[in-house]
Amino acid sequence: MSAATQATALSLREASARLAAGQVSSRDLVGAALARIEATDGRVGAFLAVVPERARARAAESDARAARGERRSPVDGVPVAVKDLFLTRGIPTTAGSRILEGFLPPYDATAVERLERAGAVIVGKLNMDEFAMGSSNEHSAYKPCHNPWDLSRTPGGSSGGSAAALAARQVHGTLGTDTGGSIRLPASFCGVVGLKPTYGRVSRHGVIAFASSLDQVGTLGREVWDAAALLGVIAGHDPQDMTSSRRPVGDYLGGLEGGAAGLRVGVPREWLEGEGLDPGVAKAVRAALETYRKLGATLVDVTLPHSRYGIAAYYLVATAEASSNLARYDGVRYGLRAREARGLREMYGESRDRGFGPEPKRRIMLGTYALSAGYYEAYYARAQKVRTLIRRDFDAAFQRCDLVAGPVAPSVAFRLGEKVEDPLQMYLADVYTITCNLAALPGLSVPCGLHGGLPVGLQLLGRPFDEATLLRAARALERETGPLPSPPLPE
Amino acid sequence: MALSVEEVRRIAQLARLKLSADEEQRFAEQLSAILGYVEQLEALDVSGVEPMTHALAAGEAAPLREDAVLPCLSPEEALANAPAREATWFKVPRIIE
């Protein structure tokens, strides 16, 4: 194994410790990451843009700080990457869509700014479903992303590149976004840790909007520590985002080793006994629950009777909001314009037809319909009431437990092409993740085993702003089972 | 709930999407299937239930910020991605036809 391969195999925690001890330089880590991307990304497809020059310059700055004895944060000097939904000043940002091809943002997203201020080195932008709409990354307008565990399978979506880049050992940490499961599903499929914080915990300023009452920025890593460290860097109030919370940011690393003893883990009976759950996934999830019991946690039977309506409510709320958010792509201020169109109206229609792929179009259509005269009450308003019912289910459950545990997805990673022609089947991959967004809760996926050689994730959901308990519980499981080994990605 | 091709055309018009005949046909089928699925919400009794109109936790309501002038993009930065521009304006095709 070459020194470069060894460097890329480090988790963010390990890389951070070696940087702090002066055993490795940021230059070496960044060089190894860029070489690994070069060697593997032709097969994985995790990146939409790589910025070697910029990354090497930032690494040199980090090394210069280290030489002065200055270390800004646990991520200082560590190579990372962000989903292509985050605006990055001077780096093309596409949201996975042709309509933003060549777009150069004039400013950084707050999460990106905080990451870079903490010293992390962004090496590139990650592949995703167009406008974060999808569960397989197949709706990327640029290229498919492949699961490093089995290149014929999807990495999950929409933050597919964010999870695949970690599984392929290309970078040590990533940012994603999660509107209905878009961090947790790919984390589960790729065998990494993915955290969707509470709505309001991380600023969304500079993150291209999909469904504004659901979207949240989150972190992914190969270990729980990695996702926790990244959250500590990006979380907190931002005057530029009116929905960002003023609550103080927790100490996510400090309590990580607190164990699971005394925790009350709620197990929703609807989730493990429902139809459509792969028995291999159910088995891995049950084994994880048994581990919690052995570690001194109590398993509590809870019920979420309205969670079965989650997908239906979600696809009305999310599409209605998307139809409004995506109205800004009109060929006037940025993005693709049909130049030959005659008149403004034709220019709008032609630009949007050419720029949007099938999934954004489908969702714009559905959302426009749900909001249109005569249908608003029956669809959007009713879905918002169902959201209240789903939230009440969780409020009741959290009277009896500290967190809720269950599967992330009904199956392990499915094959590329398997669901892409059947939108409804694709939507159903989000059946367990979607209620978390509707109820505005924090949620996390942590690896809990393999089924048929493919990773299975355990989902943990917590009380609003209680990310610390989720991370501690996830770490307790990880300490027992260990992070998954490297996937057998062909060299 | 089945959507006809005519209704698809009307929605596309509202959404400023110019669809091909093929797309109109496909969306009529796919959107009908999705609307059929969401119909299950009708089975729920939601009378007296408050709609969740925002996702902020209790006590998280965003206070109004001060009405102060803050730094913003320069005209050059704001126009840098414009498909067509003239001086400090975005240029659009003829509006009155």
pLDDT tens by residue, A150-178? 999 999 999 999 999 999 999 999 999 99
Burial class (CB in 10 A: 0-12, 13-18, 19+), A43: middle
What tokens does A467 get? 């990310």
Using alpha carbons, select from A245, A243, A297 the residue that is nearest to residue A266: A297
Residues present in chain A in total: 491
Mean pLDDT (chain A) is 96
What ipTM was reported for this prediction? Answer: 0.95
Region A225-252: mean pLDDT is 95
Which residue segments constitute the domains of chain B, with CATH numbers given?
Answer: 1-42 (1.10.20.60)
CB contact under 8 Å between A362 and B15, yes or no, is: no
User: What's the gap in Å between the CA of B78 and the closest CA on chain A?
Assistant: 7
Q: Indicate which residue of A158, A162, A188, A411 is catalytic.
A: A158
Q: How confident is the model at residue B2 (pLDDT cuts 50, 70, 90)?
A: confident
Reported as a single tens digit per residue, the pLDDT across B33-89 is: 999 999 999 999 999 999 998 888 666 766 777 899 988 999 999 999 999 999 999
Q: Indicate which residue of A83, A125, A196, A419 is catalytic.
A: A83
* Percent with pLDDT over 70 in chain A: 99
pLDDT of residue A474: 98
Neighbours of A185 (CB within 10 A): 33
pLDDT of residue A1: 47
Q: Check whether A266 has a pLDDT greater than 70.
A: yes
Region A59-64: mean pLDDT is 98
Our CA dihedral for A368, A374, A380, A382, rounded to 10 degrees, sits at -160
Residues of B in contact with A200 (CB under 8 A): 55-57, 60
- Write the residue in A106, A343, A353 that is nearest to B80 by C-beta: A106
Q: Check whether A413 has a pLDDT greater than 80.
A: yes
Homologous superfamily of domain range A1-485: Amidase signature (AS) domain (3.90.1300.10)
- Write the residue in A103, A353, A369 that is nearest to B17 by C-beta: A353
CB A365 within 8 A of CB B19: no
Using alpha carbons, select from A329, A319, A370 the residue that is nearest to residue A210: A319
- For residue A309, which amino acid is it? Y
Region A72-89: mean pLDDT is 98
pLDDT of residue A117: 98
pLDDT of residue A50: 98
User: What's the gap in Å between the CA of B47 and the closest CA on chain A?
Assistant: 9
| C-alpha pair distances (Å), A47 with each of A145, A148, A368, A456, B80 | 9, 13, 32, 24, 25
The answer to whether the bond into A73 is cis (omega within 30° of 0) is no
pLDDT of residue A424: 85
Is B97 at the interface with chain A, CB within 8 A? Answer: yes
